[in-house]
Copies of this chain bind each other. A is one copy, B any other.
Amino acid sequence: QGTRDHSPAQAALRERLLSAVVSCFKRHGAAAIDTPVLELRETLIGQYGEGSKLIYELQDQGGELLALRYDLTVPFARYLAMNKITNMKRYHVAKVYRRDNPAMTRGRYREFYQCDFDIAGQFDPMIPDAECLKIVHEVLSDLQLGDFLIKVNDRRILSGVFAICGVPESKFIPACSTVDKLDKVPWEEVRSEMVGEKGLSPEAADLIGEYVQLHGGLDLIERLLQDPKLSQNKQAKEGLGDMKLLFEYLTLFGITGKISFDLSLARGLDYYTGVIFEAVLLQQENEHVEEPVSVGSVAGGGRYDGLVGMFDPKGRKVPCVGVSIGIERIFSILEQRLSMNGPCLSLQASGEKLRTTETQVLVATPQKHLLAARLKLISELWDAGIKAEMLYKKDPKLLKQLQYCEDTGIPLAAIVGEQELADGVVKLRDVATREEVRV
C-alpha cells in the first residue's frame, strides 16, 4: 500500500526529471554522498515531531534495532557528526519512507524520492541561504511546470511574533503548526484552533492574526523593522535583519519577482532554526479564476543549525541550510499531463515523444537463414559503442522488424540480405522517411 512499480515509461520520465534536478545541483558545485536506507531507530526517533509515528521499523531479528529513513536531512546530519565534517556542499537523491495515509493521485506515497541539496559550514550570513533559493528557482524554471511562488519566512521572526503576542515559549511549536495551516484554511479556522485546541488566549490569537496574515517584499521587512513592538524583540530583529540581507542577495540574483516574504509560513519539522521556505505551483489552467490558486508544495527547506550537534558526542554544532525538491509531486503533475500508454510517452503539449529506450539501430534481415550475419553485425555495432537491437527470432519477417522500429522509436534499420552479404555492404534504412543507403 502506498508504493508502486515504475513502468518503463514512468521510469524514463522520472530519469529525465531527476537528471534535470541533479544537473542543477552539480551546476552549484555539490558532491554526491549516499547513506544506507536503514538507520538506527534511536537516530530517527524524536527528530520529526508528529511525524515520528510514521517511521517504518524493522523487526528485531537480532542485532541493532533499525528503521527506514524518514528523510535525507537527519542521515546527512548524522553523517557529518560521525565523520567530524564541518564543511560540505552535498546533494543526495534517494528514496525515503513514511507510513502516511497515501494519496497517490496527488503524489503522496509511502515510498518516495527526495532530492536534497545542503550546505554545511560556518559562513557569512545568508550567502548559502540565498543560493538554496536560487536553486529552487532554477529547478522550477528548468522543469517548465508553470508559474510558481517561493514563500520565505524565518523561525526567529515567528518566535518573536509569538513572544510579543504573549504566547508562552512552551506553546511556540504547537502555535507554529497551527499557523502553518493558513495556506489551506481561512484565518477564522486557524484562530479557533489556536484558542480551542492549543489553549491560546483570544487576545493573543487576534494579535498573532495581525502579523501572520502579512506578506510582501523588502517594503514589508522595512515596515516590520520599524514596528515598535517587534523591533524590540531580539530574535525577531535578528531574523528581520537577515531577511533584509537575503532579499538584497536575491535582488542581485534577479529572482525577487517570485519570492514572497510570508509570515504565515511555519513548516512542520522541529529542527529548523532560521530561514524557512516553501515553493508552490500556481494554478493557471482555469483562466477565469482571478487570483492564482496554489496546487501544493513542490520544494521546501530551511536552516537547521542545531541538528548536527545532536549527533556529536561533544555537541559541536555545524550550521546547515538546505533544500528538498518534491520530485514525486512534480512527477505526478507531469504524469497527468502526459499520455503514459505504450512504449513511448507523448508530451501532449509539444507532440514530442519520450522513448523508453535509446536504441539507435535495429539489425534486420529480409530473408531467412541469415541469423549468423545479423549476430556478427550487431556484435560489431555493440563493440563500436552503437546502441543496437535485433529480434530474438531465427527468421523474423521484415515487416515485423520494421514495425518494431516504429513501435519503439528506433530511427534506423541496418539490413543485411543475401545481396548485401555478397556485395559486402549493409543497407541502412531511415525508418521514418524510408530512404535507404548502402554503406
Task: Indicate if the CB atoms of A29 and B387 lie closer than 8 Å.
Answer: yes
Given A28-B389, A31-B356, A59-B58, does the pair A375, B252 have CB atoms closer than 8 Å?
Answer: yes
Q: Is B124 in contact with A393, judged by CB distance below 8 angstroms? A: yes
Tell me the complex Cα distance, A387–B138, Å. Answer: 13
Quick one: given A31-B356, A357-B31, are A59 and B61 in contact (CB under 8 Å)? no
Of chain B, the residue at the smallest CB distance from A131 is B392
Q: Mark A14-50, 1 if CB is under 8 A from B, else 0.
A: 1100000000001111111111111000000000000
Please determine whether B12 and A31 come into contact, CB atoms closer than 8 angstroms.
yes
User: Complex Cα distance A63/B123, Å?
Assistant: 47
Q: In the complex, which range does the number of interface residues on chain A fall in?
A: 35 or more
A79 at interface by CB-CB < 8 Å: yes
Chain A, residues 241-279, CB within 8 Å of chain B (1/0): the string is 000000001001110000000000000000000000000
Chain-B contact segment, one of A3-11, A173-181, A228-236: A3-11
User: How far apart sit A61 and B95, CA to CA, in the bound complex (Å)?
Assistant: 20
A383 contacts across to B, CB distance below 8 A: 138
Partner of A99, one of B29, B61, B99: B61
Whether A34 and B57, one on each chain, are in contact in the complex, defined by CB atoms closer than 8 angstroms, is no
Question: Taking chain A's interface residues, is the majority helix, strand, or loop, or is none over half, making it mixed?
Answer: mixed
CB contacts (< 8 Å) of A379 on chain B: these are: 134, 252-254
Contacts of A130 in B (CB 8 A): 375
Q: Which of A111-163 contact B (CB under 8 A)?
A: 111, 119, 121, 123-124, 127-128, 130-131, 134, 138
CB distance from A118 to the nearest CB of B (A): 13
Beyond the given A8-B88, A252-B379, please list 7 additional residue pairs across the A-B interface where CB-CB is below 8 A.
A8-B90, A11-B31, A26-B387, A29-B387, A29-B388, A29-B389, A37-B95
Distance, CA A30 to CA B371, complexed state (A): 21
Chain B residue nearest to A373 (CB atoms) is: B252
Taking a contact as CB atoms under 8 Å apart, the answer to whether A32 and B5 are in contact is no
